[in-house]
Amino acid sequence: MRSTLHPPRSAAILADTPLEARRIECAPLLAGAGAALAARGWTPSTSSNFSMRVDERHAAVTVSGRDKGRLTPDDVMLVDLDGQPVNSALRPSAETLLHTQIYALKPEVGAVLHTHSRTQTVASMLYAHAGSVRLEGYELLKAFAGFDTHESALTVPVFPNAQDMHVLSREVGAWLALEGAAFGYLIAGHGLYAWGADLAEAMRHLETFDFLLECELELRRLRS
């Protein structure tokens, strides 16, 4: 299924060019994604953060504190997979480590998106006690890579929020290392992380999660 969000499509790993050239290639792609997501109200204030893999050891990530609907080339920087800046005095997003650990543990991932839509935030609070949301029986599950039938189920974990990114990343990392862990997770009171082989797939997965979470919230309301 096609997403209604349409960022420019890119390869999961960019051509063999110097790191700075790769950052410059990633910047307008991430800016386009940011503008599309901000238009939907999914990046309130200066929240949210986006990234793309540039090679096996580096990623391009949005700079901390920027309006994600108005990103410029200077609002995207390079980091290594330990989350440390590369050739820059700028400060990456505080949650950069949550991006880079996905690249480190999942070499097939080319882009990671983190947003704060109302649906994502409410669902993260509502299901925090249960620790997960199970999405099952929906036709739209086929929008996820590798799913070819509505007779499928996907469990989305909900992790407790923490200001210490090392603590949070260790907990998330244990789940990422599990066989079958895929596509996204929620952080309680915070929002959603979603990823894909490239930016277009990450956008499709993000939109699918948001729609299915909205369905689950509506079903709970109607059944109450």
Token pair in block for residue 93 = 């997003």
Confidence band for 193, pLDDT divided at 50, 70 and 90: very high
Please provide residue 130's backbone torsions phi and psi, each rounded to the nearest 5 degrees: -70, -30
Candidate from 24-28, 73-77, 148-152 with smallest mean pLDDT: 148-152
pLDDT, residue 9, reads 43
pLDDT tens readout for residues 42-63: 999 989 999 999 999 999 999 9
Provide mean pLDDT across the span 80-89.
90
Please provide residue 219's backbone torsions phi and psi, each rounded to the nearest 5 degrees: -60, -40
Of the CA atoms within 13 Å of residue 87, those in its CB half-sphere come to 12
Provide mean pLDDT across the span 128-152.
94
Candidate from 11-15, 38-42, 196-200, 220-224 with smallest mean pLDDT: 11-15
Give the Cα separation of 121 and 142 in Å (integer): 24
Are 80 and 99 in contact by the 8 Å Cβ rule? The answer is no
Domains and CATH numbers, the chain: 19-223 (3.40.225.10)
Are 83 and 64 in contact by the 8 Å Cβ rule? The answer is no
Residues with Cβ within 8 Å of 174's Cβ and at least 6 positions away in sequence, in order, are none
pLDDT, residue 17, reads 57
pLDDT, residue 12, reads 40
pLDDT, residue 89, reads 80
Token pair in block for residue 127 = 């299901």
Residue 176, helix vs strand vs coil: helix
Give the Cα separation of 5 and 147 in Å (integer): 20
Mean pLDDT in the chain? Answer: 90
Provide mean pLDDT across the span 141-164.
92
The share of the chain scoring above pLDDT 90, in percent, equals: 76
pLDDT, residue 151, reads 86
- Counting beta carbons within 10 angstroms of the beta carbon of residue 100, is it exposed (0 to 12), middle (13 to 18) or buried (19 or more)? buried
Hey, which residues does 113 pair with through a beta bridge? Answer: 50, 194
Residues with Cβ within 8 Å of 10's Cβ and at least 6 positions away in sequence, in order, are 25, 26, 29, 52, 110, 198, 199, 200
Give the Cα separation of 147 and 116 in Å (integer): 25
pLDDT tens readout for residues 3-50: 445 444 443 444 445 899 999 999 999 999 999 999 999 999 989 999
Residue carrying the six token digits 């729609």: 211
DSSP 8-state assignment for residue 63: B
